[in-house]
A and B are shown apart, each in its own frame.
Chain A
Amino acid sequence: MTSLYEEIPAAPPADVPTRRVTITVNGDRRTLDIEPRLLLSHLIRQGLQLTGTHMGCDTTGCGTCTVLLNGRPVKSCTVLAVQADGREVETVEGLSSAQQLHPLQEGFKQEHGLQCGYCTPGMMMAAKALLERNPNPTEDEVRWALSGNICRCTGYQNIVKAVLWAADKMREQEG
């Protein structure tokens, strides 16, 4: 049995109405015919094979599926893929270039900001959105901004340190 996840983005049955959308994902413009009920998380993982975005609770609670939609963090399990039409999506794969890790990725490495790593992509995307608005956050502000993301290893201490590390690094780079 093919799961709906695989079925929808690739080739929905001929009699199912689809909608043509153009979505920019990590800088690449993609034109796709998709079913309106397809969730953004399913498009990203099954349709575009960008499996860095994780699915956790699937009920808008855990935040591991967080991506940026026009620069703001959203839980991609709770956005329809058609709603990204004409908009920009950034996933964790968009953080690093081929040569260089993003300061957030480096920070998670330096400060041991992950244990099992399952929540990491969502944490990084939520943190990226924070640092874009607030390049010099306090520890409290970091905790507040990440309060929609759950880490079941309960490694919050190091996640917060990793984000503060990245903030320092990014301010240094800005000069």
Chain B
Amino acid sequence: MYPSRFAYEAPATIGEAVAILDRSGPEAKVMAGGQSLIPMLKLRFASPERIVDINNIQGLDYHRLDADGSLHIGALCRHEDLEFSQVIADSHPTLYAAAAVVADPIVRTRGTFVGSVCHADPQGDWAATMIALDGRIVAVGPNGRREIPMKDFVLGPFTNALAYNEIAVEAIIPPAKGEARGGYLKLERRIGDFATASVAVALDMDGDVVRRAGCALAGVGGKTIDANEAISVLVGQPLTADSMAAAADAVAAAADPRTDHRGSADYKRHIVKTFVTRILSTVASTEQKAA
């Protein structure tokens, strides 16, 4: 398989890349890791006239924790950069757990966090963590820079809120209100498969009290499921057997799974409930040990 013909540019700056997109019109496409785009080009699901490859732009491969506690992930930060990051291991349990289960180790050397969020695959792992952590995307276009909250960024399956002449330059995760806890659990048939069901949970803890709770699901709906409201039953109190059970039920009810070759709808909903319970009990048991 090979792509249909396209013009190719690999500019050295964001400004140049935006200018090329602006004058090319909607038939141009940005390429980051290429780990979703190249397969789509080969299958001819996409046949853009022009590819604007951002891999030659220096200084986009960072991820950094600012003094205020906000995490910034540049457009060329690869999945594996997060998987092997001490910063992420120490500060962001939800992202750290997800990093190891996105695709497979070789795809992770190329694919990017921001590219994955832009791709807006309902089964994508990073979009779920972004919703649970209340992240936002920074876009740069001909008229400058704007920030798009994650809840407004994904418009539908494989559709994001970027204009054709905008590039997503970074993702921002706001500082935790207290200590960041949580996790990411994914059921996959084998490594490299997309999620049968996966659950991102992010808790901000003030001592043993939950200050903020975030949750999102992948693989169990036509889009990434925002379960932030469902899990908010946990807020304002310590984790108890009752609150955790109520949260797991509420999140499972928010899932919208379909029966397919990966499993029945009931099965997937059951997995969601089990995963929420597992992540919360792990947080609760480490809280107890710490106390």
Contacts and interface: CB of A to CB of B under 8 A. Distances in A.
A57 B60 CA distance: 32
A79 to B, nearest CB: 7
Interface string B158-173: 0000000000000000
Contact of A144 (B2, B39, B103, B105): B105
Contact of A148 (B4, B8, B38, B191): B191
A90 to B, nearest CB: 14
B290 interface: no
Interface of A: 4, 16-17, 19, 35-39, 42, 58-61, 63, 66, 72-75, 77-80, 82-83, 85, 126, 144-149
B10 interface: yes
Given A17-B7, A78-B38, A148-B191, A36 B106 contact: no
Contact of B34 (A19, A83, A149): A83
A83 B106 contact: no
- State which size class the interface on B falls in: 20 to 34
A147 B109 contact: no
A1 to B, nearest CB: 15
Sort A-B residue pairs by CB-CB distance and give the 6 closest, nearest first: A148-B104, A36-B8, A148-B106, A147-B191, A72-B109, A37-B3
B34 A80 contact: yes
Contacts of B51: 36, 80
B124 to A, nearest CB: 15
A129 B3 CA distance: 28
Interface in B3-21: 3-8, 10
A82 B41 CA distance: 15
B157 to A, nearest CB: 20
B274 interface: no
B287 to A, nearest CB: 29
Which residue of A36, A63, A145 has the most chain B CB atoms within 10 A of its CB atom? Answer: A36
A15 to B, nearest CB: 11
Contacts of B106: 63, 66, 73-75, 126, 148-149
Nearest to A66: B106
Which of A4, A60, A75, A77 has most B Cβ within 10 Å? A60
Contacts of A144: 105
Given A59-B39, A80-B38, A36 B7 contact: yes
B179 interface: no
B42 interface: yes
21 contacts: A4-B2, A16-B5, A36-B6, A38-B2, A39-B38, A58-B42, A59-B42, A60-B39, A61-B192, A77-B42, A78-B34, A78-B38, A78-B107, A80-B8, A80-B38, A80-B53, A83-B34, A148-B105, A148-B106, A148-B191, A149-B106
A58 B3 CA distance: 12
B24 interface: no
B38 A79 contact: yes
Interface in B190-244: 191-192
A167 to B, nearest CB: 17
B91 interface: no
B137 to A, nearest CB: 24
A144 B2 CA distance: 30
B270 interface: no
Contacts of B105: 73, 126, 144-148
A77 B53 CA distance: 17
Contacts of A61: 192
A37 B42 CA distance: 9
Contacts of B80: 72
Given A19-B8, A82-B8, A83-B55, A75 B107 contact: yes
B35 interface: yes
A78 B58 CA distance: 22
Contacts of B104: 63, 147-148
